[in-house]
Amino acid sequence: MINFPILPGASGHLLGGALAAILVGPYVGALCVTIVLVVQALMFADGGLTALGANVTNMALIGTATGFLVAVALRKVAERGKGGLAAVAFVSAFVNTLVAATGFIVEYAIGGVGGVEIGKVALLMWGLHALIGIGEGMITAVTVTSVASIRPDLVYLLRGSAKPLEVRS
């Protein structure tokens, strides 16, 4: 819903895969992103109905899986503290954005209409989404570190490493 400007005449919005995966894990995360996409398409006419399958595939499945795999690969860094966690969140969100964009490029190559040269599509998609990925990375890093500083036990990626909860009566 909330687009941030990346260039004059172009904007980007959160995809949310890495964010969801880091906070609640890959399976629940993919469901969360899917629910958002369905509500956006049905209630707000944002994202086509016939494109819903592609959107779920790219943003909810590919995006969340990618964000999760990158975050898990860098888990040791994330456990080092707030700065490490922010860096891991940023990187996994950036990669998630580029790989989700790649999902569209592959789908266009397989069955897209218009016959546009695939290199041209890829160049535009990757160029724009590299910029969008920076915004995605910043939003993800801020959100994840905010949750981690108040309730580290709620960050899926840090499970098992977070300090045990203090029991209060």
Cα torsion for 154, 157, 163, 166, to the nearest 10°? 10
Fill in the DSSP letter of residue 156: G
* Candidate residues 21, 73, 93, 150; the one interacting with another protein per rule CB under 8 A: 150
167 binds another protein (CB under 8 A): no
35 binds another protein (CB under 8 A): yes
Residue length of the chain:
169
Q: Would you give the binding string for another protein spanning residues 93-132, x where CB under 8 A is met? A: --------x--x---x---xxx-x---xx--xx--xx-xx
The pair of three-digit structure tokens given for residue 112, joined into one six-digit string: 């897209």
Are the C-beta atoms of residues 140 and 18 closer than 8 Å to each other? yes
At its nearest, how many Å lie between another protein and the CB of residue 150?
A: 6
Q: Is 61 exposed, middle or buried (0-12, 13-18, 19+ CB in 10 A)?
A: middle
- Residue 61, classed as helix, strand or coil, is helix
3 binds another protein (CB under 8 A): yes
Q: Point out which residues bind another protein (CB under 8 A).
A: 1-6, 8-13, 28, 31-32, 35-36, 39-40, 42-46, 48-49, 101, 104, 108, 112-114, 116, 120-121, 124-125, 128-129, 131-132, 150-151, 154
